[in-house]
Structure 1
């Protein structure tokens, strides 16, 4: 294929990957002056009508997605007997290649990678698409650390369940969910299972189940308990092992019920571990200080005992400076109360960036913000609602994930009698350590009806953007 031009537009430059079903080439799009990836169906399958339908379905499924953690698909076409699709060209390695070269990843790296996959899959799930073939081969990792999910070739649209035959087994056997091995219905929970297996491989460098053939490995997924990953890598945090075990439960109802739920657990595991390490470090520091103080006190007591025994020879020259002590400054003392405000979470920020405010809703009108660098003054007109307070959440978002850093902060106000709206002003303050070098801060305002816990009339908008984040 190298040197061939497709549709008078795509110059095929070189092969960059592929398998038995399709080959991927790097190509130059002459019309838009950019590099693209061209995925060409294998010649041996060009007369297989079922495979052609799957190939076209992949394009339609993928083309509906637009997310920074999903490889963008542009087009599908045919030239003679050649079926091909064009998609975003990604400079990087597959996660499979990364694991082959590096072996196990650190818990922190693994959480970062899987959290991004969760974001990409959440976008697919929101569009009614299950991937069904999550494995390292289908995850691309860029040089800047971002990962992208690719190859929705055996995905199934939830609103088109008849598109595959009943009992048809699909997926890569080392990552396949138990329900896929038996041909039972699949759901979002099937992607959760495969993602749990992938996480296991990231932190250990190996898959949990192996065997001589498809059937033997499938039976292990179906019947055998997951091997303890800490027997391979003792440095895996206990909470991370719990997450892996929950994601890979045989019973789908016992797994995380969404990839975003799994992501939240992952991020909290790292945050909690980081806090614990910080507290342990501070305790060691304080212990060293106390030991030092104890030693100094012992020396001082010994000195005065010697003086007492020796008589009053030193009585007239008792001018030693008092023993210098050390107390922890405010900067050195951890502030767990401030850290407790950091609640890892998710937000569909990729669909809301950035430019203008969302349209006025039934409660909040004419939103204005001033300030910068974590110090803001908010002004908003609030309609005459049956309560005298509303709430706000603050999200800090970088290129890879979003964090809910302030949750449920209340703003009380006094209604202006006889007026449809009351202008409410309130400050928002974010600690410097929460501000990304490239990313955004967003505010979400809402109110709650009495005796109800659901948000009403939610309005969100941009507080500030830093740098040029590549969302």
Structure 2
């Protein structure tokens, strides 16, 4: 639908990515509107943490364009070609993507196409969510009609597969699919055709994650049962809640706590309203746990379509 070029801003001396609507689509009024809606939706979020920054929007020779921050690290999709990621890396990336998506939802923006190819990495491997090309923004006229399916089959929610209008819960479902892929090396309903995969999301039985990768803790099954629930109301209330549940499932497996960085879970003291942090393991205990992990976590993964700038 669009072509992405790497360019140099000579005035500000920085590399940028320029997304230009493909010439074959430039004459289609609806597609032009959708492309410009991407720019408007993204601009509303520009400057927020973990959202690709938009610098300029315009038109050249009848073709709309968007100038945005250049992501030197490529996309998460490209990283998944190398195999599944470690739990530590997966959780870090998921937390960053969750922050951006929750911000978008508070602004009334639904991404509708969350997938590794739209989770871009900067030079420091920090995630920035991009490509709101089929996002629906509150206050903007919808360009979709009932029964229209927009999204990528590998990450599409059951309601989107049925042609029902997507909401924030649809994005949370897609992030859950990304999480499953990061940790196991495969999408939960991977199939030979996009149609078969979409049908899997709509009607298929979710595979047990510890059966796909026995090194992963069993408590993750409960988390994914909720994250990938068929009914939107049965899913976590926010993306951050989803990622927090994933992290807690690893903390529930004592050996895994030695290798997972990031926020330390809090526990509530009996009879008190305030919370306290768990004390970190002593160095000797951590070293022993790491040694025991010699037979532990090993993982692998794949991608969707389209890369980031």
Q: Which residue of 1 aligns with 2:261?
A: none
Q: Which residue of 1 aligns with 2:255?
A: 277
Within the candidate set 6, 26, 49, 1:68 is matched to 49
In the alignment of these two chains, the number of paired residues is 271
Output the CA distance in 1 between the equivalents of 2:257 and 2:53. Answer: 43
Pairwise CA distance, 1:430? 9.6
Residues 42 and 262 of structure 1: is their aligned pair in 2 closer, same or farther, counting only changes over 3 Å? same
Q: Which residue of 2 aligns with 1:322?
A: none
Within the candidate set 159, 173, 177, 1:179 is matched to 159
2:213 aligned counterpart, secondary structure: coil
Q: Which residue of 2 aligns with 1:334?
A: none
Q: Which residue of 2 aligns with 1:243?
A: 223
1:389-400 matches, cutoff 5 A: none
CA deviations on 1:83-125 (whole Å, 9 max, x unpaired) are 2100111110211110102x11122221111111111111111
Greater RCO (Cα-Cα under 8 Å, separation 6 or more): 2
Residues 431 and 135 of structure 1: is their aligned pair in 2 closer, same or farther, counting only changes over 3 Å? closer
Residues 139 and 268 of structure 1: is their aligned pair in 2 closer, same or farther, counting only changes over 3 Å? same
Pairwise CA distance, 1:208? 1.8
Q: CA contact under 8 A between 1:199 and 1:244: conserved in structure 2?
A: no
Q: Which residue of 2 aligns with 1:85?
A: 66
Q: Does 1:343 align with 2:270?
A: no
Residues 430 and 177 of structure 1: is their aligned pair in 2 closer, same or farther, counting only changes over 3 Å? closer
Output the CA distance in 2 between the equivalents of 1:210 and 1:240. Answer: 19
Pairwise CA distance, 1:262? 1.2
1:321-340 matches, cutoff 5 A: none
1:367-386 matches, cutoff 5 A: none
Q: CA contact under 8 A between 1:108 and 1:270: conserved in structure 2?
A: no
Output the CA distance in 2 between the equivalents of 1:149 and 1:81. Answer: 27
Q: Which residue of 1 aligns with 2:301?
A: none
**More strand, by proportion:** 1
Residues 201 and 431 of structure 1: is their aligned pair in 2 closer, same or farther, counting only changes over 3 Å? closer
1:64 aligned counterpart, secondary structure: helix
Q: Does 1:193 align with 2:173?
A: yes
Output the CA distance in 1 between the equivalents of 2:44 and 2:30. Answer: 21
Pairwise CA distance, 1:209? 1.7
1:68 aligned counterpart, secondary structure: coil
Q: Which residue of 2 aligns with 1:221?
A: 201
Output the CA distance in 2 between the equivalents of 1:73 and 1:278. Answer: 39
Q: CA contact under 8 A between 1:243 and 1:265: conserved in structure 2?
A: yes
Within the candidate set 170, 185, 206, 1:205 is matched to 185
Q: CA contact under 8 A between 2:71 and 2:123: conserved in structure 1?
A: no
2:78 aligned counterpart, secondary structure: helix
Q: Which residue of 2 aligns with 1:286?
A: none
Q: Does 1:98 align with 2:21?
A: no
Q: Which residue of 1 aligns with 2:134?
A: 154
Pairwise CA distance, 1:132? 0.7
Query: How does the TM-score come out when normalised to structure 1?
Result: 0.53
Pairwise CA distance, 1:196? 0.9
CA deviations on 1:288-335 (whole Å, 9 max, x unpaired) are xxxxxxxxxxxxxxxxxxxxxxxxxxxxxxxxxxxxxxxxxxxxxxxx
Q: Structure 2: which 5+ runs fail to align? A: 259-263, 281-309
Output the CA distance in 2 between the equivalents of 1:205 and 1:229. Answer: 11
Q: Which residue of 2 aligns with 1:130?
A: 110
Output the CA distance in 1 between the equivalents of 2:121 and 2:133. Answer: 19
Q: Does 1:24 align with 2:13?
A: no
